[in-house]
Chain A
Amino acid sequence: MATATRTKKSARRRQLEAAINYPIDWLEERSGLIGGLKYFLFRKVPGDTGWWHTLGSATLTAFLVQALTGVILAMYYKPDPQNAYQSIQHITNDLTLGWLVRGMHKWGASVFIILMFFHMARVFLFGAYKYPRELNWIIGVTLLAVGMLEGFTGYLLPWDQTAYWATVVGINLNGTAPFLGPFLADFLRGGGEIGSETLARFYSMHMLLIPGLIFALIGLHLYLVIRLGVSSPPWSREAAGSDYDADQPATNGRSGLTQPAARSGWRRNGGDDV
């Protein structure tokens, strides 16, 4: 902030700052949200992170685009066999900017999946899945699976020939899983045959059940990123994710934790110095 260096401020400027700061301070005093936001945004990261580390937030952005465009598409889409196809045609051809929002949702779905794979490849090749971040890798793999389920359920909704037969094949593919496969297929179809129940069911899963799950898993994913810190690249001389500390040079990857509490937690359980 420039205020510290400025010896004299005009009265007008002070008024302005007060007016801006008042609601922020009001909120902070009552909720701590501003501090929380700062804690989230202005974390320490290793100095030699680069563009590769932006793939995760790119994936998050892609998901948020899907969530936003999906909510708006849901205002015009009609999930029953008589109207589904026509409503999509209506969105694409008649409604203002419908072609754009539907296109964003359709192509964004592929972007989301592709970015997930790129992000996963980055994490894998950088070895960022190693201790103490194994759990976040597992959550990430779950997110990949759930994200693909989102793609599968969304594919049926246009209710054209491609959608219908691709879903027939997809469900029957699930049905060939040993033992419980036939039951899984019936559950997905909402019965023995694909019909209106299937469409409504896929729509519900696509817009409510799975996105809720994805939001929850992303929350956990980010929580662990914040708690454990961003890992540094393999060529870095810094230990993964550590705050630089001259008194305590990082000597191994295991000490690379941002949170002192987490570090001491490891020490205590490992029992080497306490």
Chain B
Amino acid sequence: MTEPQHGDRTHSPGASLYPIGFAAGIACVLVGLIINPMVIVPIGAAIAVVCGFLWAREATTDFRGEPVAAVEPERGGPGESTAAPAIPADRGEAAMPEPGERFPRNRFLEGATLGLGAVIGGLVTVPAVGFMIVPAFKGQGYPKVDLGPLENFTEGKWFVTKFFMHPEAGEVSHRTAYIRNNGLLNGEPSFTIISNRCAHLGCPVQPNGPVQDNQTKDVDLPKGQKVTMIPTIPAGGYGCPCHGGQYDVEGNRVSGPPVRALDRYEFAIVDGHLVLGTPYSVSHVKGEGKDALIYKYKLTGPGEHVDGWEQILYPLQPPH
């Protein structure tokens, strides 16, 4: 074939925004499932349905034979710009549409086959991919963890406190916090509860000071919970073994790669027991013990800034 081929390209559909709108709608649905299923999902679904309908309408204008404005190339002529010039060679003319026919059957069948295939593929793929992604973002949150009677926490002393976040899940849910009973503040108990998760990349920080293993105390509690308390004197604060991040005794970053202070846990006193609540992130702490002023933020992953200009890099958090 040596004829010039310049005119050949025009058959491909012109640029359309509907597929993009459709994709945006689907993205909106997926994001909405995480953020706000009641409001955002219907909006996304509406966008997807409308754009999908318009897209399908636009894509099938050929088949439906509606006259289309200037975008569509002229039909007929020597080029015969249908997409199936290969058919006639060995098949004879029977299947070949008359030039300019408005409803060529083979093109309808092509479209139907591809379209049905796409629908079936989508019906299978969308739930499967959804199942892969969505459960990771649902049903999260932190349980209330009973850490035992208040009397176990001697006032003014630090304890390496190990517990199970989910006793039924076993060893994999083992967590550690550094806990100090600060005594009473305005007549109510005050605790400093620092997470051992390094604010750099999540390794377990260690106390920079003696850990009195010989005074380890195990506390058995209902529902399979086992709390292990080891007195410690973190005189030099905390240090991370992985990349050398250093913190002071209140969890403020002193040196190394961490981007903020150590996370802390909320707490409550229930029936004379210390109960651990939701963890939260901390940019820094002023003061010490019960007089500490804690700059508190929603829990974020290690290595993410919560203050300063860098916080704009992490505008959205998955629901924790």
- A residues near B (Cβ < 8 Å) are 81-82, 165, 168-169, 171-173, 175-176, 178-179, 181-183, 185-187, 189-197, 268, 274
Across chains A and B, the number of contacting residue pairs, with CB separation under 8 Å, is 79
B interface residue numbers (CB < 8 A to A): 2, 5, 34, 133, 135-137, 140, 165-166, 169-173, 201-204, 242, 300-304, 313-318, 320
By the criterion CB–CB under 8 Å, are B203 and A183 in contact? no
Q: List 6 A-B contacts (CB under 8 A).
A: A82-B170, A173-B303, A181-B301, A182-B300, A185-B301, A193-B173
- Is there contact, CB below 8 Å, between A195 and B302? no
CA distance A215 to B256 in the complex (A): 42
Task: Give CA–CA (A216, B70) in the complex, Å.
Answer: 42
Q: Give A196 Cβ to nearest chain B Cβ, in Å.
A: 6
Contact B320 A192 (CB under 8 A): yes
Main secondary structure of the interface of B (DSSP, over half): loop
Check if B135 sits within 8 Å of A182, measured CB to CB: no
Give the one of B34, B133, B137, B201 with max A CB within 10 A: B201
User: What CA separation (Å) do A71 and B203 show in the bound complex?
Assistant: 32
Whether A175 pairs with B302 at a CB distance below 8 angstroms is yes
What's the nearest-Cβ distance from chain A to residue B144, in Å? Answer: 16
Q: Kindly identify which residue among B140, B172, B204, B316 contacts A182, using a CB–CB cutoff of 8 Å.
A: B316
- Whole-angstrom distance between the alpha carbons of A182 and B135 in the complex? 15
Residues of B within 8 A of A187 (CB): 133, 136
Known: A165-B203, A179-B315, A193-B173. A186 touches B136 (CB 8 A): yes
Q: How far is the CA of A221 from the CA of B2 in the complex (A)?
A: 32
Q: Which chain B residues border A173 with CB–CB below 8 Å?
A: 201, 303
CB distance from B266 to the nearest CB of A (A): 16
B314 close to A179 (CB less than 8 A): yes
Q: Are B203 and A182 in contact (CB under 8 A)?
A: no
Give A81's nearest chain B residue, CB to CB. Answer: B172
The CA of A114 and the CA of B293, in the complex, are separated in Å by: 51
**A82: chain B residues within 8 A (beta carbon):** 170
Knowing A175-B303, A196-B169, A196-B172, say if A169 contacts B242 (CB, 8 Å): yes
Question: Top 5 A-B pairs ranked by shortest CB distance?
Answer: A176-B303, A178-B313, A175-B301, A172-B202, A172-B201
Bound complex: CA A51 to CA B203 (Å): 45
The residue on B at minimum CB distance from A198 is: B172
